[in-house]
Amino acid sequence: MRQLFAGLLFAALWASAAVATKFGIHTTDPLLLANIRFVLAGSLMLGYAYVLRRDKQYRVPKGAEWRHLLIFSLLNTTIYLGCFVLSMKQVSAGIGSLSTATSPLFIMLISAVWLKRKLRWYEITGVILGLVGVGLATYPLLQDSHATLGGLAILLSGMVSVSVATVYYSRVEWQLPNIVINGWQVLLGGLLLLPFTLLAADFKHSHFTLVFWGAVFWLIIPVSTIALQLWFYLVKLDAVKASFWIFLCPIFGFIYSFLLLNEPITAYTFAGTALVIGGLYLAQREKFSKQGKS
């Protein structure tokens, strides 16, 4: 029962990121939202590690660790989350949540290229189903201005970046605790994004309203802190079963976007989401079948 509650809460919180971002950029430039979120979140995590805990294991990175952190920060925070926030100006929150759930497909593709491994037929089929599902769910939104091709291209660029970041992260032998890695990569990602924000952000028409700060709070605490801790907890219990909770994120995302943002849910939405979930399962069927036999 505890695992069930943790899984449902994780999916519900993780899927809320797109809607919170939509609220945050309603009156404020997306780049400003991203930079403020990154700097605050990174500072809070590092403050917890270095000031409150004061444990020897929470040390400052050194040597090659800085290079790994900079590369990971650029891919995972600056480019990925920067693209995600920018795309929310042109793409519905529901599609944002659906795209996030497809990350295992991109990770599988990039990992196969990185390791020079031949893809199996069901992996290729799963990727195709996932991409077709996103296209199907997006189709009616392109017709009524809830999505643009430019916004989808930005979103896709971010998904490729975070997938490369994930594969890169898995190839590095980290000697730092998770909270230190996350704290530095988010803070460094914000600092790397800062020049672009200063050059391109619309400061003149940005207003830091109560809704904006509420969105920032939600993205930092429930999403970046609570949801991630729940994910680590689920992975520690059972990494394979934890993957199933990713399947629920698009469903929660479309529900939030419908109830809170009045974004449409159509037959295309249901069909596209079903294809994405089916593609995710098919692409990872070997992993799930091994779990069933163990």
| 10-residue stretch averages of pLDDT, the chain, 294 residues long | 84 92 94 95 91 84 94 94 92 85 79 79 82 83 78 90 87 87 93 95 93 95 86 74 76 89 86 84 66 53
Half-sphere exposure of 172 (CA within 13 A, CB side): 19
Q: Which pTM was predicted?
A: 0.84
Amino acid identity, residue 26?
Answer: H
Burial class (CB in 10 A: 0-12, 13-18, 19+), 173: exposed
Compute the radius of gyration of the chain from its Cα atoms. 19
Cβ burial 184-216 (10 Å sphere, 16+ → b, else e): bbbbbbbbbbbeebeeebeeeebeeeeebeebb
Q: What value, to the nearest 5°, has the Cα angle with vertex 119 and ends 99 and 74? A: 45
The per-residue pLDDT for 289 is 61
Q: Please, are residues 98 and 250 in contact by the beta-carbon 8 Å criterion? A: yes
Question: What residue spans define the domains of the chain?
Answer: 2-293
Q: Is the Cα torsion angle 133, 137, 143, 149 positive or negative in sign?
A: negative
